[in-house]
Chain A
Amino acid sequence: MNLIMPPEEEKIIPQTRAEPRIESREPKPDALASALDSRPSTPSIPALTVKNLSVYFGKNQVLKGVSLEVQARAVTAIIGPSGCGKSTFLRALNRMHELVPEARMTGEIRLFGEDIYAGGVEPVIVRRRVGMVFQKSNPFPTMSIADNVTVGLRLNGVRARATLVDRMEKSLRMAALWDEVKDRLHSPAINLSGGQQQRLCIARALAVQPEVLLMDEPASALDPLATAKIEDLILELKKDFTIVIVTHNMQQAARISDSTAFLYLGELIEFDATRKIFTNPARKQTEDYVTGRFG
């Protein structure tokens, strides 16, 4: 079976993985499911280990020695007032902050035990393993709904049509969008509503089979109904993916996350189980923030 597999398929499975995953090489229909089943299932192995992370933009230090562990297959929320470094923290997790020319970082981030900033590690490979969904939905305007979902695969060299069609349907189903768009897969993506566009972006991120999904205020531009759909979706996705979400909405963090980190002025003030953060925080600052006394 290996012989008839297109060699491109291998490209989207990073070679540098620490956990030897029994990735199914056969193009059988449930390749995705079996790939997901081979994820480390013991919750004791953190998906991401951040040690003493500091990020600078020029002379401006945005993050000051943040250390935390993100559990696999759980939702970790990052809360804090505007400008506290939430988005920068998120972007450091898949090296997106490097797009700012004068950005630099110190410290260490390990993805399933592997240093993603080690010499020789390509940011492109890191980003295939750690996907991202942005605040503003941004489906590519020149592409159809179907093309938007498969773009990450196609531009990474996957050409087998069966794989693409199969992965597109699975991703759209996982993003709870399939039923709404299955009859117009080839119409332009920008004709979708705002909430649908955001779920399309989630499907697009899922199609490249990331291990971790970063979400930067994914629902802050949506109405309450669309927000509820996204939140349901996140709870569904955490069965298979590790999710880190930045949110301004305290209720949202309380509703969907398992653990919560409170960042303030670039420092990690408190990181604990969500229930504890919202009911019995250890620090006064956290209590003041979650009860709405400042921020």
Chain B
Amino acid sequence: MPNEETRSCIVLGSRLLQSSFRLLQSHMTAPNHNWRKFKNSFMQALTLACALFVIAPLGLVFYHLVKSGVGSVNWDFFTKLPKPVGEVGGGMANAIVGTFVLLGIAACVGVPVGVLGGVYLSEYGSSRLNGWIRFGADVLNGVPSIIWGMVVYALVVIPMKGFSAWAGGMVLGMMMIPFIMRTTEEVLQLVPNGYREAALALGIAQWRAIVQIVVRTALKGIITGVLLALARVSGETAPLLFTAFGNQFWAHKLTQPIAALPLQIFSYAISPYDDWHRQAWAGALVLLLLITAINVTVRVLTRDRIHKNP
């Protein structure tokens, strides 16, 4: 009997061995695809999750801003001055106008210098000097905005003996310059050389060929760079603390401190009043909508930028 048992055990064992060997063999000759497929879909899902994670904050920010801010965005918000402490109501009319005034001054400072600098980099300069200028612009692009504020505080606020719209616009304009310069250079480099040669071969002076042919061909791209720079600086708060300072009333002169949306949001958000908190949310919503509007304009402008030819 034990013999019988042992035998059946051996038979069973050998069969098991045999079948597992066969399984192993089939694995080696015709590998199972499921594991590889699993790895592939896992990686795909992981990258998708990360990509969604990038836009999730945008959705959350929008959701939160609309939820908390939309109730306070009303006619008063766009037309009234802030109410004194303790009173409910009022608006941010001065801050909205102030933001546009600051962006206007910033554009007057940043656009000519940035665009002409970009033209120099792309059309004139020697490669060695250009390398240094490009490096400088890239470093400036990464300088923290509060440092810009301190620089302009020293250069403009102290000599003018006071905070002013000029100083606020100046700091935003200076922050725009390196960005506009690099985007302008890049889009000018996309203009095929054939156009420059054709213009020069017609006996057109170089500066005229650059202004009327090269810059004109790349104009949409240059405008796109300017708008993106404006969108970038429109939300700056830190440098304005040192320069524009903020104002609860209308600024009647550009030499006076001026209100700006980010400054008003900042001072309302850190206040202890619920009504001011609601207005801060509303201000943030308006600022975000402004930036979104600029970006949509950029999209519309760049939609048909590809030329059919050289």
Contacts and interface: CB of A to CB of B under 8 A. Distances in A.
B201 A96 contact: yes
B198 A138 contact: yes
Nearest to A125: B203
Interface residues of B, number: 25
Interface in A86-127: 94, 96, 99, 101, 124-127
Nearest to A154: B212
A263 B224 CA distance: 48
A94 B203 CA distance: 10
Given A96-B201, A155-B209, A140 B195 contact: yes
A151 B212 CA distance: 10
B102 to A, nearest CB: 33
B217 A142 contact: yes
A94 B201 contact: yes
B195 A128 contact: no
Interface string B116-156: 00000000001000000000000000000000000000000
Contacts of B33: none
Contact of A156 (B126, B192, B194, B203): B203
Contacts of B195: 138, 140-141
* Chain B contact residues: helix, strand, loop or mixed: helix
Interface stretch (A69-77, A200-208, A230-238): A200-208
A55 interface: no
Interface stretch (A40-48, A129-137, A240-248): A129-137
B204 A124 contact: yes
Interface string B202-214: 1111001100110
Given A136-B194, A138-B192, A128 B309 contact: no
Nearest to B191: A141
A213 B306 CA distance: 31
Contacts of B310: 136-138
Nearest to B220: A142
Nearest to B198: A138
A138 B208 CA distance: 18
B203 A127 contact: yes
A140 B200 CA distance: 13
Contacts of B274: none
Interface residues of A, number: 31
Contacts of B309: 137-139, 141, 190, 197
Contact of B203 (A134, A142, A152): A152
A205 B217 contact: no
Nearest to A201: B198
A155 B219 CA distance: 18
B197 interface: yes
A151 B201 contact: no
Given A138-B310, A190-B307, A131 B216 contact: no
Interface in B224-283: none
Most chain B CB inside 10 Å of its own CB: which residue of A96, A134, A138: A138
B308 interface: yes
Nearest to A191: B308
Contact of B202 (A125, A126, A142, A151): A151
Contacts of A156: 202-204
A155 B205 CA distance: 8
Contact of A155 (B196, B212, B307): B212
10 contacts: A96-B200, A124-B200, A134-B198, A134-B201, A137-B309, A138-B309, A141-B195, A141-B309, A151-B204, A155-B204
Interface of B: 126, 192, 194-205, 208-209, 212-213, 216-217, 219, 307-310
Given A94-B201, A142-B217, A190-B309, 5 more contacts: A127-B200, A132-B197, A140-B213, A141-B307, A208-B202
